[in-house]
């Protein structure tokens, strides 16, 4: 069923997500702070709004795909967006933010008669382009059910629990991703230094307990010295900082997250790698071992 949607934020992830919504036949209005990033969608069937507040007028569902919780809060509550949303509409925040921020946003919007889901995603730009994102949702079951049709255009959505639960699941996801990238970088260096064939190594592990998308995709990037940004180091650090902040609220320690977070920070601050793909943690490992990345083939 066609739905009238506003999508705020058409960056690396938001742009391909918008294309999936258009491909599913939805009526779509888009907005981005840098208008040039939204402009290509005008030729693909979307309306490009001059402001975020203009974009949401008349929309039944408003999707936000923005940098962090502070930006989401600013756009929703300080640019006229919340006041322009029709009562009974649903805001679906697909950004990665703190669970406490998601709960606060839901409460404020509820006071205006607006429903809310926190629905962050995993799968990177490849998943966004293919419409195969993993979508982790928090919020009321009925609100989730009503949004399931449009969410299915972008990937597989699962309701994890009440408001904030989607963001909590995303933090757990990012903890696994960061730690796994660290483990795979060390395994890649070990095999490479021992004279093994890295492509054959990944093939040998395929289907076993150590296999994963991260091993196959990020391991190949490490082998090929291909660190063009898909998931940026700076964003990975933001997510790991949020993991540790939430852990602090819960009164627990996550030592592996702490260790890998410090390595990503070193990659950004000492090796100027903040805008590289997070698989570039391999570069930081090479530097620790006095080695340089191999030339690209």
pLDDT at 259 exceeding the cut of 60? yes
Secondary structure of residue 171 in the 3-state scheme:
helix
Burial of 248 from C-beta contacts in 10 A (0-12 / 13-18 / 19+): exposed
| CA–CA distance, 174 with 154 (Å, rounded to integer) | 19
Under the banding of pLDDT at 50, 70 and 90, the label for residue 3 is confident
Mean pLDDT of 24-39: 96
Catalytic annotation present for 37? no
CB count, 10 Å around CB of 80? 15
Segment 216-227, tens digit of pLDDT: 999 999 999 999
Secondary structure of residue 220 in the 3-state scheme:
helix
Token pair for residue 32? Answer: 């981005």
Q: What is the mean pLDDT of the chain?
A: 95
CB count, 10 Å around CB of 106? 24
| CA–CA distance, 173 with 83 (Å, rounded to integer) | 33
Catalytic residue among 27, 37, 57, 170: 170
Mean pLDDT of 112-120: 98
Segment 91-112, tens digit of pLDDT: 999 998 999 999 999 999 999 9
pLDDT at 1: 47
| CA–CA distance, 71 with 77 (Å, rounded to integer) | 10
* Residue with token string 């925040």: 93
Mean pLDDT of 182-211: 98
pLDDT at 292: 85
Residues 6+ apart with CB under 8 A from 203: none
């Amino acid at each position: 069923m066609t739905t009238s949607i506003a999508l705020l934020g058409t960056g690396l992830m938001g742009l391909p997500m918008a294309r999936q919504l258009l491909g599913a036949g939805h009526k779509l209005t888009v907005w981005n702070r840098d208008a040039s990033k939204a402009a290509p969608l005008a030729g693909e069937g979307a309306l490009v709004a001059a402001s975020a507040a203009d974009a949401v007028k008349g929309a039944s569902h408003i999707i936000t795909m923005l940098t962090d919780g502070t930006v989401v809060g600013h756009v929703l509550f300080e640019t006229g967006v919340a006041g322009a949303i029709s009562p009974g509409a649903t805001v679906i925040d697909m950004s990665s933010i703190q669970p406490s921020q998601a709960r606060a946003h839901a409460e404020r919007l509820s006071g205006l008669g607006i429903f809310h889901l926190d629905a962050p995603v995993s799968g990177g730009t490849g998943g966004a382009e293919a419409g195969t994102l993993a979508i982790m949702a928090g919020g009321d079951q009925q609100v989730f059910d009503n949004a399931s049709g449009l969410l299915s255009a972008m990937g597989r959505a699962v309701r994890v629990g009440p408001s904030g639960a989607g963001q909590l699941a995303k933090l757990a996801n990012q903890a696994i991703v960061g730690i796994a990238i660290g483990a795979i970088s060390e395994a890649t260096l070990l095999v490479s230094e021992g004279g093994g064939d890295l492509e054959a190594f990944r093939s040998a592990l395929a289907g076993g307990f150590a296999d994963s998308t991260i091993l196959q995709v990020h391991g190949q990037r490490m082998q090929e010295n291909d660190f063009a940004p898909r998931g940026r180091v700076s964003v990975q650090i933001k997510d790991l900082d949020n993991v540790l902040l939430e852990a602090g609220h819960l009164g627990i320690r996550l030592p592996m997250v702490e260790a890998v977070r410090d390595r990503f920070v070193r990659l950004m601050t000492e090796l100027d790698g903040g805008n590289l793909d997070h698989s570039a943690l391999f570069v930081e490992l090479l530097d620790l071992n006095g080695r340089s990345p191999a030339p690209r083939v």
